[in-house]
Amino acid sequence: MDGGTLFLIIFILLAISGAIFTLSYFSKSSTSDDSTTTPISTTPIISTTPISTTPIISTTPIISTTPISTTPIISTTPIPIPTTTKVPTTTPIPTTPIPTTTKVPTTTPIPTTTTTKAPTTTPITTSPPIEFDNVFNQVLTAGIMASGLYCTEDNGVKCNRTGLDSWEIFNFNKIDSNTLNIKSLKTGKYCSDDAGLNSVICDRDAPGSWENFKYSFNSDGAMLLKSGRTGNSCSIDNNKILNCNNNNPINFIVKPFPICNNIRITVNPNNIGGNRVVHLAEVKVFDLNGNNIAKNGIATQSSTYSRDASKAIDGNTDGTWDGNSLSHTNEEAGAWWNLAFSSYVNISSIEIYNRTDCCSDRLNGSILKLSLLDGKSISKTLTGDVKQIIKLSK
């Protein structure tokens, strides 16, 4: 029930109550005057005030002192329940917590690699060692080790030396994929399986079937030898003498290295215009015992621009012009730097130090050539790195 309906009901009840009260009042007045002598007027009482037909509506709000009932009014008419869209509970909106431990500090700048340029004077990389070519692809100079000792020619091959010198050097000449000759550098003669002497001896002027040896390599890179004459495996006896009269093979370690008498560095022949310079901070040449023997040679170059060739073997690796330790040629076609030895030397590795204050790319693509025994040679292409190692001995 709304407020308007309630107000109308109260108004009607008040009107009825007023009418009852008026009738009761006039009825009482007429009965109370029966004892008096005043005659009752027969003249009808006619009010001259017209009765208003306008309903009396009070503008004053009716304030009831009766407390409003707390009992809910239950309507018998069903109230329609509006249809609402319910959010499905099976698809909750995922929330990702913000981790507090991975906040990037605002005071720490994120490093970039595009704004920091390494100075040209600081060595950044070192060339990986350039390994000696595959063992038997050419006439090879090497030492032979058995049971941790080097072998030498001493009226027969004996493996009893702790160091490596000219007597412990052999040349290997590959014949086919599993056959080779062995030649002693000490005697200059070929080795053979001599059954009469019960040993391998290097006293033959020319190779033949008796001077052939069969070889193979195991998974560790060690070499296995057999006599080409008998097919027996080679080993050493209790006196460290090498022979091939039994079938108990042992592992031989081949230590290859070049026998060299000249080292030359020639400018990159593919440079634009063909004109470039060769400048070097230092060239180090190491023998089999790790000694730098470069100073034992004579350094020369195709021409000289203020710094002579010997600066590259003075022991100083300073790569700056102001350090006064650079060798430097003129800019010319086919410029070169050379180091010559008076005799053949055993070389295990070469280290080349480039200029560092500028122009290190001039060395990139230059050719390093080593002149070996028997007219052979090894050539390697250099890079523009500050330091590079050419490893010639395994």
| CA distance readout (Å), 20 to 26, 40, 109, 122, 261 | 10, 23, 97, 122, 151
3-state SS class at 241:
strand
pLDDT tens digits, one per residue of 39-73: 444 444 444 444 444 444 444 443 444 444 444 44
Mean pLDDT, range 234-240, rounded to an integer:
89
Q: Sign (positive/negative) of CA torsion 196, 198, 204, 207? A: positive
pLDDT recorded at residue 18: 74
pLDDT reported for residue 390: 86
Q: Which distant-in-sequence residues (6+ apart) come within 8 Å of 88 by Cβ?
A: none
Sign of CA dihedral 91, 92, 93, 99: negative
Pairing of strands 387-391, 126-127: parallel
Between the alpha carbon of residue 88 and those of residues 12, 92, 93, 94, 328, the distances in Å are: 53, 8, 10, 13, 84
Report which of 278, 307, 282 is spatially closest to residue 386, judged by C-alpha positions: 282
The tens digit of pLDDT for each residue in 338-355 reads 999 998 887 888 999 999
> Which residues make Cβ contacts (< 8 Å) with residue 271, sequence separation at least 6?
365
- Rounded Cα distance between 59 and 162, Å, is 132
274 or 11: whose pLDDT is higher?
A: 11
Flag whether the pTM goes above 0.75. Answer: no
Nearest to 375 by CA among 259, 294, 286, 204: 259
For position 27, what pLDDT does the model report? 55
